[in-house]
Amino acid sequence: MRIKLIANPVSGGDARSRIQGALAELQKLGAEVVLCLTGARGDARKSAALALSEGYDRIVVAGGDGTLNEVVNGAASSGLPIAFLPLGTVNVFALEAGIPRRLEQACVLAVQGTPRMISAGRVNGELFLLMVSAGWDAEAVARLRPGVKRFIGRLAYAVSALEVLLLQKPAPLQVVMHDGSCHTGFGVVVSNCRYYGGRYVVTPGASIFRDDLEVCLLRRAGRLGVLTFALALLLKRSLQAPQVEYLTITGAELRGENVAVQVDGDAWGVLPVRLEVVPRAVAMVLPAMPGEQKQGV
């Protein structure tokens, strides 16, 4: 098996030693591996887009959710199977899919695992595996300082979120459905998976194996609404009406004035955006999951 190992050396702070360990483990398992280190945003996508024409059988991504997002967008049209070695700060996709945190186990899965087709979302033409959100949390991602993140890890998101809460009043936004109906709130998460920012559940009905997306719309206005939403997440309490409204969609438009957007944990820009689900969009190498029949590609 010829593997292209696309790795982000700054995932989780400094991943160089773990990347070299992954290279050795993959080779020990009998794979022919070429390592491609990223140096700037967009490098992983470009490298993934060339993998099929270069004769590779599989792409292995060593990094965080943002690096995986780039590879998916570069390689999805080729149909090449993609495996993930979670080296990032949070690694939501690995949590969602049950990919082992231990590097040796993740490498065994990457080489010996069976690809399965999963659904993805699409935002303004770009694929996402996890979620699109708009509002205070996306603003926190946009304000995140890389130096602070390298020093304190995932706590940097909490620091940035607190700054946003103190400095910026939540702005209204709208979820506009295909039939023209409009749902108004003050923050929204449109998700392809259950987990959000770690083992926190915002959209319990979402799944990478379903052909729709689940929406959690924060309905309560003001800083108090955001604070109660955040506390419910931290305490792992279920989110319920009238605090939030849940919607299930195959597509919609998010509208708002200068409201920040994040996609799979990276800052995206501002509203408006168009969203849709893409069934069987990506071939991912995943462990067998309870309740799911194993699929071949």
Query: In the chain, what are the domain boundaries?
Result: 2-113, 126-279
Q: 218 and 258 in contact (C-beta within 8 Å)?
A: no
What does the H/E/C string look like for 86-154? ECCCCCHHHHHHCCCCCHHHHHHHHHHCCEEEEEEEEECCEEECCEEEECHHHHHHHHCCHHHHHHHCC
CATH class given for the domain over 2-113: alpha beta
Q: What is the pLDDT of residue 12?
A: 82
Q: What is the pLDDT of residue 296?
A: 42
> What three-state secondary structure class fits 258?
coil
Q: What is the pLDDT of residue 167?
A: 75
Query: Which residues contact residue 252 at a Cβ distance below 8 angstroms, ignoring those fewer than 6 apart?
Result: 175, 176, 177, 178, 190, 215, 274, 275
Q: What is the pLDDT of residue 294?
A: 45
Would you state the structure tokens that stand for residue 285, as one six-digit string? Answer: 């190498």
Q: Which residues does the chain have with pLDDT short of 50?
A: 292-297
Q: What is the pLDDT of residue 288?
A: 79
Which of left, alpha, beta for 31 (phi over 0: left; psi -120 to 50: alpha)?
Answer: beta
Which pTM was predicted?
0.89
The CATH number of the domain covering residues in 126-279:
2.60.200.40
